[in-house]
Amino acid sequence: MDRSITKGVDCISSMPDVILHHILSFIPIGLAIRSSTLSKRWRHVWCETPRLDFRGYHPMATARDINQTLISYKAPKITSFHLCVIVWVPKLEPQIDSWIEFAVSRNVEQLFLSFGCRVNHATYRFPNSFYRSSSLQNLNVDFITGIPGCTVSWKSLRSLTLGHCFQSLDDVLSGCPVLETLTLGYCGGVHSLDLSKSPTLTILKINRRLYCWPTPGSIKIVAPHLRYLDLLNTHETCTLVDVSSLTKAKLDIRIWGDPYRYHYYSDDEKADFLRLENMLLKMLAQLRNVELLTFETTFLQIISVAELRGVSFPMLKVQTLTLHTMIARSVTPGITRLLQSSPALKKLIVYATEPKSIDDRDLDDYLDSQGMNLDQCWRSKCDGFPTLSNFHFRDATWYLKLVASFIEWLLKNVKTLETLVVVFEYLCCSDDATWFEELLRMLPTLSNNNNVSIVLRRG
């Protein structure tokens, strides 16, 4: 037995302060402070840890604790400052200001501010020092409302995440000369996003949430320098005006209705569907030069309907295509058209997901309203693939045959493909793993195309 263990030697306390500070930086500051009771050696170690984490603090009852912590804090620089106030109390606003000013005065580099769902977005304004922090490199904040009381000067800011935004971002972006990544959540006040004057901004992520009120509304994006676009969009109009430098894009479309059950759509909602279909095809045209594309199930269903209606598709230069999709009838026409419109495709990655999205009956209602013969149009494009309702109470043998047919079908629709990767995130018969082992044994016989490397994985 190690003698140091038998004698109870404290190896951690003998480490240099800089290592102890690093260790304490991984836990909330309340726990870090408790380490001061371990021994005299630990009494003041927490005071100079470079990271302060106040997540999960309630209002006035703990404001005193936060203030006392900041009074005792001795580090000249803060690398990371997390503040989360779960319930908003109006008289707490001056305290919030002082805590933010403290972080700024210590040259904070990463600032994370969360104020819960009850904050009064209409009245609260950040202190001017917040907008003048020259040390900020990464800012993640719930909201920014109103025009800043001073000129924004975030000279070092490289990553900006806004959970909510209720007005134009022009004043903010003009003060971020080296910004590289912009992430937006619900931004109901942003109807035009002009990034043409932000040459360093290459990554844009937008999550236009479906269940927010008021609804986000339309948005127009001008981003000639953008390299990566990640768009989680509702059925509200999104127009890509200039994304000419894009090399990678991901589109995830969410629309009205419960994805688990049939929903009868009104005439207005059917008109919205047609508008959404047109919007997605225009977006696809703007993405025609992108080399890496990722699409989700709902997007595939909508362009499937467009394919059944005979709408023309743009030719794509995509080389790596990733699809997060169920193996079902309602996505196969769209996938077919995507593959046939991608003559330079080298790698196809398919994540087989749980069968849920727009109900087949909803799609049938829409096609019927457009004068389509349902039996004829579905049978001509995707005969043999199940509807969502057909997935219930199926056994492993059925699912094995479905997956094998799906892989063979994919390979018939590609000409230049080098690699096919299929990741099974959804296992129809999770209690019976033998089907996957059998699928692996079938792999050599699934295709006569020896030039395609096939990789199968369980997610």
**Residue 135 near residue 108 (C-beta atoms within 8 A):** yes
Q: For the residues of 442-453, what is the DSSP string, one character each?
A: HGGGS-S-TT-E
Tell me whether residue 74 is in a domain.
no
For the cut 60, the answer to whether the pLDDT of residue 174 exceeds it is yes
The Cα–Cα gap between 25 and 48 comes to: 10
The number of distinct structural domains making up the chain is 1
Tell me whether residue 56 is in a domain.
no
For the cut 80, the answer to whether the pLDDT of residue 97 exceeds it is yes
Q: Quote the radius of gyration of the chain (alpha carbons, Å).
A: 27
Mean pLDDT of 12-41: 64
Tokens of 240: 């890509």
pLDDT tier, 136 (very low <50, low <70, confident <90, very high otherwise): very high
pLDDT above 70 covers what percent of the chain? 74
Q: Which domain holds residue 334?
A: 311-458
Mean pLDDT of 306-333: 93
Tens of pLDDT, residue by residue over 227-253, are 999 998 665 678 899 999 999 999 988
Using the 8-state DSSP alphabet, how is residue 254 labeled? Answer: -
* Strands of the 192-194 sheet, one edge to the other: 192-194, 219-222, 238-242
Q: What pLDDT is recorded for position 234?
A: 61
Q: What pLDDT is recorded for position 373?
A: 84
Q: What pLDDT is recorded for position 58?
A: 46
For the cut 80, the answer to whether the pLDDT of residue 165 exceeds it is no
For the cut 90, the answer to whether the pLDDT of residue 27 exceeds it is no
For the cut 70, the answer to whether the pLDDT of residue 432 exceeds it is no
pLDDT tier, 102 (very low <50, low <70, confident <90, very high otherwise): very high
Tens of pLDDT, residue by residue over 246-304, are 999 999 887 654 444 445 556 666 677 788 888 899 999 999 999 999 999 989 999 99
Q: What pLDDT is recorded for position 33?
A: 64
The residue type at 458? R
The Cα–Cα gap between 63 and 69 comes to: 10
Tell me whether residue 429 is in a domain.
yes
Helix, coil or strand: residue 212: coil
CA neighbor of 425 nearest in space, from 336, 352, 334, 355: 352
**Mean pLDDT, rounded, of the chain:** 81
> Before 214, cis peptide (omega within 30)?
yes
Q: What pLDDT is recorded for position 378?
A: 78
Tens of pLDDT, residue by residue over 178-229, are 999 999 887 767 888 999 999 999 999 998 654 444 455 678 999 999 999 9
Tell me whether residue 1 is in a domain.
no
Contacts of 314 (CB under 8 A, 6+ apart): 281, 284, 285, 288, 341
The residue type at 73? Y
Mean pLDDT of 158-187: 89
For the cut 70, the answer to whether the pLDDT of residue 350 exceeds it is yes
The residue type at 235? H
Please give the residue that has the higher pLDDT: either 44 or 112.
Answer: 112
For the cut 80, the answer to whether the pLDDT of residue 131 exceeds it is yes
Q: What pLDDT is recorded for position 441?
A: 87
Tell me whether residue 343 is in a domain.
yes
Please give the residue that has the higher pLDDT: either 100 or 65.
Answer: 100
Tens of pLDDT, residue by residue over 411-423, are 988 989 999 999 9
Using the 8-state DSSP alphabet, how is residue 172 labeled? Answer: H
**Residue 338 near residue 290 (C-beta atoms within 8 A):** no
* Least confident span in 77-86, 204-213, 254-263, 443-452: 254-263
Tell me whether residue 350 is in a domain.
yes
Other Cβ atoms less than 10 A from the Cβ of 268: the count is 8
Contacts of 182 (CB under 8 A, 6+ apart): 160, 173, 195, 201, 203, 204, 205
The residue type at 181? T
DSSP run (H or E) holding 186 = strand 181-186
Helix, coil or strand: residue 380: helix
Q: How many residues in the chain?
A: 459
Tell me whether residue 95 is in a domain.
no
For the cut 90, the answer to whether the pLDDT of residue 30 exceeds it is no
Tell me whether residue 324 is in a domain.
yes
The Cα–Cα gap between 121 and 144 comes to: 8
The Cα–Cα gap between 295 and 363 comes to: 19
pLDDT tier, 17 (very low <50, low <70, confident <90, very high otherwise): low
Q: For the residues of 301-329, what is the DSSP string, one character each?
A: HHHHHHHHTT--------SEEEEEE-SSG
Tens of pLDDT, residue by residue over 364-404, are 888 888 888 887 777 766 667 888 777 765 777 888 888 88
Contacts of 86 (CB under 8 A, 6+ apart): 56, 57, 58, 59, 116
How far does Cα 376 stand from its chain's mean position? 38
